[in-house]
Amino acid sequence: MTTTLRPSPRTKPGNRSRPDKGSTPARKRSVRRPRTDLRAALIFITPAAVGFIAFFLVPAVLGIGYSFTDYRVFGPVNFVGLDNYAALFQDPLFWNALGVTLEYVVINIVVQTVLAVGVAVLMHRLTRSIVVRGIILLPYLVANVVVALVWFWIFDYSSGIANQVLAFFGVHPVSFFGSDVFAIPTIALVNVWRFMGYTALLIFAGLQTIPKEYYEAASLDGATENRMFWGITLPLLRPVLALVLVISVVGSFQIFDTVAVTTKGGPVNATRVIYYYIYELAFEKFKFGYASAISVVLLVILAAISLIQLRILRADKSDLG
Partner 1 sequence: MSALTPTRTASTSPATRIRRRPIPIGKMIAWAALLVVMLVSLFPFYWMLRTALSTNADLPTGAGNLLPVGLSISSFERVLGITQPTGTGGSTASLNFWLYLRNSIITSTLITAGQVFFSAMAAYAFARLRWPGREQAFFIFLTALMIPPIFITLPNFILIKNLGLLNTYAAIVLPYFFMTPFAIFFLRQFFLGISREVEESAMLDGAGHARIFFRLILPMSRTPILTLAMLTYITAWSDYFWPLLVGSDDNVRVLTVALGIFQAQTPQTGPDWSGLMAATLIAALPILILFLVIGRKVVENIGYSGIK
Partner 2 sequence: MKHTLGTMRGRIGRRSIALIATAAAAALAFTGCSASNTSGSSNADLKGQTISYWLWDTNQQPAYQQCAADFTKKTGINVKISQYGWADYWTKLTTGFASGTAPDTFADHLNYFLQFEGQGQLLDITKQVKSANIDLAQYQPGLADLWVKDGKRYGLPKDFDTVGVFYNEDMIKAAGYTDAQMKTLEWNTNDGGSYEKLLAKLTIDKNGVHGDQPGFDKNNVAVYGLGLSSAAVDAVGQQGWAPYALSNDWNYGNKTPGTTKFNYGDSKFTGALTWWRSLIQKGYMEPLPQALSETDPSTGYLGGKYAMVTDGDWMNTTYLGQDKVPTKVAPTPVGPSGKRASVFNGLSDGIWSGTKHADAAFQWVKYLGSSDCQDVVASKAVVFPAIKTATAKAVEQFKAKGWDVSGFTVQVDDKTTKLLPIADHWSDVQSIMTAALQSYLSGKGTVDDIVKAGDQVNALYK
Identify residues 117-156 at the interface with partner 1 (CB under 8 A): 118-119, 122-128, 130, 132-146, 149-151, 153-154
Identify residues 230-259 at the interface with partner 1 (CB under 8 A): 239-240, 242-243, 246-247, 250, 254
- Residue closer to partner 1 by CB (options 78, 164) is 164
Identify residues 32-51 at the interface with partner 1 (CB under 8 A): 32-33, 36-38, 40-41, 44-45, 47-51
Size of the site for partner 1 (CB under 8 A): 118
- Residue closer to partner 2 by CB (options 200, 259) is 259
Q: Under the criterion CB under 8 A, does residue 77 sit at the interface with partner 2?
A: yes
- The 3 state secondary structure assigned to the chain is CCCCCCCCCCCCCCCCCCCCCCCCCCCCCCCCCCCCCHHHHHHHHHHHHHHHHHHHHHHHHHHHHHCCECCCCCCCCCECCCHHHHHHHCCHHHHHHHHHHHHHHHHHHHHHHHHHHHHHHHHHHHCCCHHHHHHHHHHHHCCHHHHHHHHHHHCCCCCCHHHHHHHHCCCCCCCCCCCCCCHHHHHHHHHHHHHHHHHHHHHHHHHCCCCHHHHHHHHHCCCCHHHHHHHHHHHHCHHHHHHHHHHHHHHHHCCCHHHHHCCCCCCCCCCCCHHHHHHHHHHHCCCHHHHHHHHHHHHHHHHHHHHHHHHHHCCCCCCCC
- The 3 state secondary structure assigned to 225-278 is HHHHHHHHHHHHCHHHHHHHHHHHHHHHHCCCHHHHHCCCCCCCCCCCCHHHHH
Contacted entry of partner 2, partner 1, none for residue 48, CB cut-off 5 to 8 Å set by kind = partner 1
Contacted entry of partner 1, partner 2, none for residue 155, CB cut-off 5 to 8 Å set by kind = partner 2
Size of the site for partner 2 (CB under 8 A): 45
- Residue closer to partner 1 by CB (options 20, 180) is 20
Report in angstroms how near the CB of residue 186 gets to partner 2 at its nearest: 9
Query: Applying CB under 8 A, which of residues 44, 95, 157, 230 lies at the interface with partner 2?
Result: 157
Q: Under the criterion CB under 8 A, does residue 81 sit at the interface with partner 2?
A: yes
- Residue closer to partner 1 by CB (options 18, 180) is 18
Q: Under the criterion CB under 8 A, does residue 94 sit at the interface with partner 2?
A: no
- Residue closer to partner 2 by CB (options 186, 318) is 186
Query: Applying CB under 8 A, which of residues 45, 49, 54, 73 lies at the interface with partner 2?
Result: 73
Identify residues 169-228 at the interface with partner 1 (CB under 8 A): 193, 196-198, 201-202, 205-206, 208-209, 212-213, 215-217, 219-220, 224-225
Alpha-carbon gap, residue 58 to 66, rounded angstroms? 12
Query: Applying CB under 8 A, which of residues 82, 110, 161, 308 lies at the interface with partner 1?
Result: 161
Alpha-carbon gap, residue 225 to 277, rounded angstroms? 46
Identify residues 171-230 at the interface with partner 2 (CB under 8 A): 172-180
Q: Under the criterion CB under 8 A, does residue 66 sit at the interface with partner 2?
A: yes
Q: Which residues bind partner 2 (CB under 8 A)?
A: 61-62, 64-66, 68-69, 71-81, 152-153, 155-159, 172-180, 260, 263, 266-269, 280, 283-286
